[in-house]
């Protein structure tokens, strides 16, 4: 299959073509020519307004319903969500039924990659069943293909477990990912603790529930050494703590959920449970600090936190509804609509492409002649609507359903596989 991509602007600092508009010719999973001269024979030609390309993206925090709750999301639907969102890969959290924690689990996840454009990168539970009590056999699952170790939606509350994990993972340069939240301080909480929660009469989750864990973990990291990544930070103080830790030379990185960059706790005044997520939406002050953290490099990665739930889990009394929001399919359109004036495009792409790949030790491809075709194509000038027809997930727990967007992912090339929006191709 020969593909000719016309007048595409490259976002890839490692490439000599960075920030240049070029023509790309792909053949049999490789970039065979750049700016070819003369008539080009191709099976498909791709053209679009304000067309861009970068190496394919990686979402560092996605959840699946499979195994155990396939009605929420199965591997097939999750792969469609990721590819339509522009992701060549997604780091799969282990919180399934049963938990992803042994060699067979990892091999099952990896077996679904053979025919998919978007590849699943399996993470493994740090503790058995993510209960925080007993260490998992991490060396075995690393050999089987686990790329990171985390209890996913569950915080590592046991200090001894965290220290031992950091020490154990040094045997193979593994990375520990922790979701920072103190269970007791967050107990029965429904949203951010503050004026809005008081006005609504809802039990709040204080900033301290996150910040005290980050402070503890950074002290333990200094003691035990190793590699630590904080997932879904949400407060101004958290950004400050991690910025200081990086300045001290600690091997720490972190990510932020896209929704925490664009939504605050006032959105919950509608009692729409689609805004109910963990960590909770915070304040505008926190949003400003998080955006500053992205821009100065304190925050390494932006994630979707894609956590699908059906209406049976969401359409109920607020305090009974599950925490979670989906968003891998619309992460890029959300950036373009709400953040493009605060975070420049190159910085954003680095947060969903080279930074997560570096943290997870994945190949970082360049857009150069002779290289493997590993591309995400996107347009900054294509309008579309995110609704029940365009939604690729089995669930619909997003407050942005039925939203009109003005930027769109058009395709993903991953070596021999491709996903393309047929509207922008012709022969």
For residue 1, name the pLDDT band (cuts at 50, 70, 90): confident
Q: Is the pLDDT of residue 241 over 80?
A: yes
Q: Which pLDDT does position 426 carry in this prediction?
A: 82
Phi first, then psi: what are they for 247, rounded to 5°? Answer: -65, -30
Q: In CATH, which of 3.30.360.10, 2.30.40.10, 3.30.565.10, 2.60.40.680 is domain 2-53+367-426? A: 2.30.40.10
What is the reported pLDDT for 77? 97
pLDDT for residue 358: 98
Percent of the chain scoring above 70 in pLDDT: 100
Extract the tokens encoding 207: 């900033």
Residue 166 has pLDDT above 90, yes or no: yes
Rounded distance, CA 288 to CA 299, Å? 13
DSSP state of 35: S
pLDDT of res. 159: 96
Neighbours of 319 (CB within 10 A): 12
Q: Per the CATH hierarchy, to which homologous superfamily does domain 57-357 belong?
A: Metal-dependent hydrolases (3.20.20.140)
Confidence of residue 416 (pLDDT cuts 50, 70, 90): confident
Bridge pairing between strands 408-414 and 374-379 = antiparallel
According to DSSP, the β-strands at 44-46 and 2-10 are parallel
Q: Residue 427 pLDDT more than 80? A: no
Mean pLDDT over residues 306-328, rounded? 96
* pLDDT band at residue 147 using 50, 70 and 90 as cut-offs: very high
What is the predicted pLDDT for the residue at 38? Answer: 82
Task: Confirm whether pTM is higher than 0.85.
Answer: yes
Q: Looking at residue 311, what is its pLDDT?
A: 92
Other Cβ atoms closer than 10 A to 427: 6
DSSP string, 3-18: EEEEEEEE--TTSTTT
> Cβ(26)–Cβ(5) under 8 Å?
yes
Q: For the chain, which residues make up each domain, given as ranges?
A: 2-53+367-426, 57-357
Is 423 a residue whose pLDDT tops 90?
no
User: Which two structure tokens, joined as six digits, stand for 380?
Assistant: 């900054």
How many C-alpha atoms does 89 have within 13 Å on its Cβ side?
Answer: 24
- Is-same-fold flag (2-53+367-426; 57-357)? no
The arithmetic mean of pLDDT across residues 129-145, rounded, is 95
Residue 422's pLDDT is what?
82
Q: Identify the weakest region by mean pLDDT among 146-155, 238-247, 377-386, 417-426.
A: 417-426
């Amino acid at each position: 299959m020969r593909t000719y991509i016309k007048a595409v602007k490259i976002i890839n600092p490692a490439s000599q073509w960075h920030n240049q508009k070029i023509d790309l010719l792909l053949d049999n999973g490789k970039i065979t020519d750049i700016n070819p001269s003369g008539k080009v024979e191709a099976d498909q030609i791709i053209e679009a307004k304000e067309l861009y390309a970068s190496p394919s993206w990686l979402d560092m925090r996605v959840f699946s319903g499979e195994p155990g709750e396939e009605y929420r999301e199965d591997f097939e639907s999750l792969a469609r969500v990721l590819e339509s969102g522009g992701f060549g890969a997604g780091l799969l959290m282990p919180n399934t039924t049963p938990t992803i924690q042994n060699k067979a689990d990892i091999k099952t996840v990896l077996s679904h990659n053979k025919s998919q454009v978007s590849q699943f990168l399996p993470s493994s539970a740090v503790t058995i069943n993510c209960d925080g009590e007993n260490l998992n056999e991490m060396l075995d699952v690393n050999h089987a293909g686990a790329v990171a170790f985390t209890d996913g939606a569950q915080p590592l509350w046991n200090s001894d477990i965290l220290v031992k994990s950091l020490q154990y993972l040094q045997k193979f340069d593994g990375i520990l990912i922790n979701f920072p939240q103190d269970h007791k301080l967050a107990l029965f909480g429904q949203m951010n603790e503050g004026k809005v929660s008081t006005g609504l009469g809802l039990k709040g989750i204080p900033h301290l529930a996150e910040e005290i864990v980050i402070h503890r973990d950074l002290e333990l990291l200094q003691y035990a050494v190793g590699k630590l990544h904080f997932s879904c930070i949400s407060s101004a103080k958290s950004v400050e703590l991690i910025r200081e830790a990086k300045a001290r030379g600690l091997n720490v990185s972190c990510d932020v959920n896209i929704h925490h960059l664009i939504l605050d706790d006032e959105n919950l005044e509608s009692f729409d449970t689609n805004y109910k997520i963990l960590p909770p939406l915070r304040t505008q002050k926190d949003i400003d600090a998080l955006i500053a953290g992205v821009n100065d490099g304190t925050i390494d990665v932006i994630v979707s936190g894609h956590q699908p739930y059906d209406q049976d889990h969401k359409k109920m009394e607020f305090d009974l509804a599950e925490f979670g929001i989906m968003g891998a399919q619309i992460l890029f359109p959300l950036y373009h609509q709400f953040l493009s004036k605060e975070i420049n495009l190159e910085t954003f792409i680095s947060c969903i492409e080279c930074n997560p790949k570096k943290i997870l030790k994945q190949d970082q491809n360049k857009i150069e002649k002779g290289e493997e075709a590993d591309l995400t194509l996107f347009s900054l000038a294509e309008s579309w609507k995110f609704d029940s027809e365009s939604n690729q997930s089995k669930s619909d727990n997003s407050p942005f359903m039925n939203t009109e967007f003005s930027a769109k992912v058009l395709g993903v090339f991953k070596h021999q596989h491709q996903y393309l929006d047929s509207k922008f191709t012709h022969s």
